[in-house]
């Protein structure tokens, strides 16, 4: 197997591109969550000021208590909406990162398979067992990665189902 500088440079460039994609996804997620937090804080401040004005405008304690009670349901609904938004942002980010990892793993599999094939062709006689062991290890790693992805998807589906159930109960 010979050293190919062009392949090495391409692999390094692909790694840098992947890291930039991950960093951009993380920053975009942080930006979305920061915007959500700012909007939620602004809304909560406005709702609190409005609620205080309503309670202070009540003519008697019974009316003040009724006004205060009427403010509870919208507050809970907004809290659920906030939680749902955070979940959606993180879920979308997780899915995007998972796609990147899968694509990278696919490229990695192709590269390793190609290298193993080249090594097997240039391997000395009698090394078939070692090559077969490496191929088995790669097959096991591929299987483990597939199982890991399936389990991660099951967790994501369960979380989505749970969030939908919570949202439905509160509405």
Domain ranges across the chain: 5-170
Average pLDDT of the chain, as a whole number: 80
Whether the per-residue pLDDT at 44 is higher than 80: the answer is yes
Check residue 2 and give its pLDDT. 52
Whether the per-residue pLDDT at 3 is higher than 60: the answer is no
Query: Three-class SS string for the chain?
Result: CCCCHHHHHHHHHHHHHHHHHHHHHHHHHHHHHHHHHHHHHHHHHHHHHHHHHHHHCCCCHHHHHHHHHHHHHHHHHHHHHHHHHHHHHHHHHHHHHHHHHHHHHHHHHHHHHHHHHHHHHHCCCCCHHHHHHHHHHHHHHHHHHHHHHHHHHHHHHHHHHHHHHHHHHHC
Which tens digit of pLDDT belongs to each residue from 102-132?
777 777 777 767 777 776 677 677 777 777 7
Check residue 169 and give its pLDDT. 65
Check residue 45 and give its pLDDT. 95
Q: Is the pTM of this model over 0.75?
A: no
Question: According to the per-residue pLDDT averaged within each range, which of 10-14, 24-28, 116-120 is highest?
Answer: 24-28
């Amino acid at each position: 197997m010979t050293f190919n500088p062009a392949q090495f440079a391409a692999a390094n460039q692909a790694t840098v591109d992947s890291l930039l994609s991950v960093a951009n996804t993380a920053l975009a997620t942080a930006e979305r969550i920061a915007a959500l937090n700012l909007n939620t804080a602004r809304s909560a401040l406005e709702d609190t000021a409005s609620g205080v004005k309503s309670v202070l405008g009540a003519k008697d304690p019974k009316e003040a208590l009724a006004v205060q009670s009427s403010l509870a349901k919208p507050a809970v609904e907004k809290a659920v909406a906030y939680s749902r938004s955070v979940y959606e942002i993180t879920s979308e980010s997780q899915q995007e990162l998972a796609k990147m990892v899968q694509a990278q793993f696919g490229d990695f599999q192709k590269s390793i398979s190609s290298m193993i094939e080249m090594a097997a062709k240039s391997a000395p006689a009698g090394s078939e067992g070692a090559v077969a062991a490496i191929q088995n290890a790669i097959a096991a790693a591929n299987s483990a990665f597939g199982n890991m992805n399936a389990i991660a998807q099951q967790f994501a589906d369960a979380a989505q189902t749970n969030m939908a159930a919570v949202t439905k109960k509160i509405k």
